[in-house]
Structure 1
Amino acid sequence: MLQNKKISYSVLDLAVVGQDIPHTKVFKNTVELAQKAEELGYTRFWLAEHHNMVSIASSATTVLMSHVAAKTKNIRIGSGGIMLPNHSPLIVAEQFGTLGSLYSGRIDMGLGRAPGTDQVTAHAIRSDRMNSVYKFPHEIDEIQKYFKNERTTTKVRATVAEGVDVPMYILGSSTDSAHVAAEKGLPYVFASHFAPAQLFQAMEIYYREFQPSEYFDKPYSIAGINVIAADTNEEAEKISTSSLKMMVGVMTGNLDYLQKPQEMTAELQAVRENPSLKRMLQYAFVGDRETIKQNTQDFIKKTGVDEIIVASHIYHQEDRLKSFSIFSDIMKEINS
């Protein structure tokens, strides 16, 4: 064991839409993955908010959260995250208060301030969102107040949220949100699965500046990684070609459905070596059990995080379920 604490492990799902896979099947696959994750001992299953992307179907995040929560029993269901500037704090409180009552003790509220889309779409979602971006810390306070029992004398209330236990997590991909999470005494989740550049700086800020709060008395950190695990390195590499092409589309603005995997070609290998792509995928672990285990152990040792949250963009559902099963076995070994 690398350290004297057990590392929790969780799932981040985007309800990725594959080529020739209808949304009904995508949502069925998401539920199946959540059920499998619950069976395998994952701590939480989070869904991310994105908009105007043909390859991502988790845009109505709280709706999908409710559907997944209804189809599972014990695993925590949350948002990774709700992009707060897209929404009013009152509506967020009402939605999560409702979820917290429907699925008591199982709902997490992860909040970020990125748009989760391009700027044109962000403007279509909420034309004044930039004002909300600057007010992110204040709007976090607003949501927390809506969840308190003592709001009976205020004119605007989220009555379905009052007294409901829904833990809040602050998401970030730079150092900005690290300051916010630390100041407010909340758990911090870093998006190192696609934006790793400031991971260590952000974590250092978070731990150094953390102020105990009524919600958490000590810091709690989560970091994201991508994992594609298979029986052999060659098989994992082939499966990873779907994710590789998807990431190239994100970088070039040429977004498309997740493509079927293909044999790793010299051309794709060259693309994978692109400096910008390599930086983005610094914590994308692809390989067999031993390869993934070594990479994961190194990541835990270097970061000191309390929890890992795993994203996997894999075309075939059976390959995806197997990858998460292998990773669960690995984490059980690391924690033993």
Structure 2
Amino acid sequence: MTDLSGVRLSVLDTVPVWRGSSATQSLRNSTDLARRVERLGYTRYWVAEHHNTPCLATSVPPVLIAQIASATSTIRVGSGGVLLPNHAPLTVAEQFGTLEAFHPGRIDLGIGRASGTDPAAAHLLRRGLPSAEEGFPDQLGELLGYLAPGEPSSDVRAVPRPETRPPVYLLGTSTSSARFAGALGLPYAYAHQINPAGTVAALQAYRNAFEPSTWLDHPYTIVAPTVIAADSDERARWLARGYAVGRLLLRTEDRFTLFPTAEEAERHSLTPSGERFVREHLDPQIIGGPGTVRDRLTELVEHSGADELMALTMVSDHEARVRSYELLAELARA
């Protein structure tokens, strides 16, 4: 069986906001978490993009990246990802060129094609921009043109143009996004936390479609599962329940609610269908004590062939969240 020793570990952060706390505290917790996982040897720290979602304080990835990169010194920092249909490609190129100038060799630009929000907010964000379905390939091509090596061929240039360029990753949840990334010769990051059933097929589709490019000469894959590690399986499942119940409440009660803490989730009475939703949300992810997490992650790497694991840990207690990343790092070193 494959072990975890040759697999890079990274962090995906959606900056969750929990009841009884605030977005301000969550943002400060993310900065603290980045410092601490850097000391643990993690490869990169990515922040997502969401809008009109009070329980996720990740509306401006470039600002978050600047803060986290300034608070750390060695870990790579980037977007997981910038949702390109919400932005003009020139603006994204200028933002990440500026970030790279301040933090050379440490900035990643992960790109997605989703909205990260509801249709009403997406409409406001995308005024004058093409829809994801219509314009994403052209938008991505334009963005890559601004960042490509050599002299730009366009009359419009992204300024500043730093000496080093941030690598571009394509994010996705399907075989179609995987094939697109492979055909462009870009590294591919798959959101296992969103669509765990499609991970193996997507990564295989990516490798089958891969063509070497100026960006990358061989396939490179990141898989991003939800990972919650604790000292026992029971403790980990208890910690995970707050996020899962919160996902249910967002769908069924109030889309502007904050995530309940683990203590609140324990007291929350669910219908049989609600309990089924929670179970189906948690079961495919990597949740448990050290032995369970090691076995589940090893199986995921073995089946998918992932080069890197990017753990999303949604836990209301900040120290328990840090502890989960500590346990994961220990498992990779074992």
Name the TM tier (shorter chain): over 0.9
Equivalent-residue separation in structure 2 for 1:44 and 1:277 (angstroms): 29
- In the other structure, the counterpart of 2:10 is 10
Deviations 1:26-67 (A, max 9, x none): 111001110111011111000000000110111111101100
Task: Using the TM superposition, give the Cα deviation of residue 248 of structure 1 relative to its aligned residue in structure 2, in angstroms.
Answer: 1.2
Matching residue's letter, 1:259: P
Contact 1:149 1:163 (C-alpha < 8 Å) held by counterparts: no
Deviations 1:252-301 (A, max 9, x none): 37332121213757956956752x65554453222111111111111111
Corresponding residue SS for 1:194: coil
**Alpha-carbon distance change, 265 to 299 in structure 1, aligned in 2, over 3 angstroms:** farther
CA RMSD of aligned residues (A): 2.2
Task: Using the TM superposition, give the Cα deviation of residue 317 of structure 1 relative to its aligned residue in structure 2, in angstroms.
Answer: 0.5
Q: Which moved more, 1:130-139 or 1:25-34?
A: 130-139
Task: Using the TM superposition, give the Cα deviation of residue 232 of structure 1 relative to its aligned residue in structure 2, in angstroms.
Answer: 1.8
Equivalent-residue separation in structure 2 for 1:129 and 1:280 (angstroms): 34
- In the other structure, the counterpart of 2:195 is 195
Which runs of structure 2 are paired with 1:141-290 in the superposition (5 Å)?
141-148=141-148, 150-151=150-151, 154-161=154-161, 163-252=163-252, 254-255=254-255, 256-262=257-263, 264=266, 270=272, 274=276, 278-290=279-291
Contact 2:245 2:278 (C-alpha < 8 Å) held by counterparts: no
- In the other structure, the counterpart of 2:316 is 315
Task: Using the TM superposition, give the Cα deviation of residue 313 of structure 1 relative to its aligned residue in structure 2, in angstroms.
Answer: 0.9
Q: Which moved more, 1:10-19 or 1:190-199?
A: 190-199
Equivalent-residue separation in structure 2 for 1:84 and 1:53 (angstroms): 18
Number of aligned positions between the proteins: 332
Matching residue's letter, 1:114: A
Deviations 1:203-248 (A, max 9, x none): 1210111000111110001111111111122222221121111221
Deviations 1:307-328 (A, max 9, x none): 1111011001111111111111
**Alpha-carbon distance change, 77 to 266 in structure 1, aligned in 2, over 3 angstroms:** closer
Equivalent-residue separation in structure 1 for 2:112 and 2:59 (angstroms): 14
Equivalent-residue separation in structure 2 for 1:240 and 1:271 (angstroms): 18
Equivalent-residue separation in structure 1 for 2:303 and 2:6 (angstroms): 15
Q: Which structure 2 residue ranges, 5 or more long, are not aligned? A: none
Contact 2:145 2:152 (C-alpha < 8 Å) held by counterparts: no
Q: Which moved more, 1:191-200 or 1:30-39?
A: 191-200
Matching residue's letter, 1:217: D
Q: Report the TM-score when normalising by structure 1.
A: 0.92
Q: Which moved more, 1:171-180 or 1:143-152?
A: 143-152
Equivalent-residue separation in structure 1 for 2:292 and 2:4 (angstroms): 23
Matching residue's letter, 1:249: L
**Seq. identity, %:** 34
Q: Which moved more, 1:233-242 or 1:307-316?
A: 233-242
Task: Using the TM superposition, give the Cα deviation of residue 177 of structure 1 relative to its aligned residue in structure 2, in angstroms.
Answer: 1.2
Contact 1:149 1:162 (C-alpha < 8 Å) held by counterparts: no
Corresponding residue SS for 2:197: coil
- In the other structure, the counterpart of 1:327 is 328
Task: Using the TM superposition, give the Cα deviation of residue 138 of structure 1 relative to its aligned residue in structure 2, in angstroms.
Answer: 2.2
Contact 1:122 1:129 (C-alpha < 8 Å) held by counterparts: no
Equivalent-residue separation in structure 2 for 1:129 and 1:106 (angstroms): 30
Q: Which structure 1 residue ranges, 5 or more long, are not aligned? A: none
- In the other structure, the counterpart of 2:37 is 37
Contact 2:11 2:44 (C-alpha < 8 Å) held by counterparts: yes
Which runs of structure 2 are paired with 1:29-178 in the superposition (5 Å)?
29-148=29-148, 150-151=150-151, 154-161=154-161, 163-178=163-178
Contact 2:49 2:60 (C-alpha < 8 Å) held by counterparts: yes
Task: Using the TM superposition, give the Cα deviation of residue 163 of structure 1 relative to its aligned residue in structure 2, in angstroms.
Answer: 4.5
Contact 1:37 1:324 (C-alpha < 8 Å) held by counterparts: yes
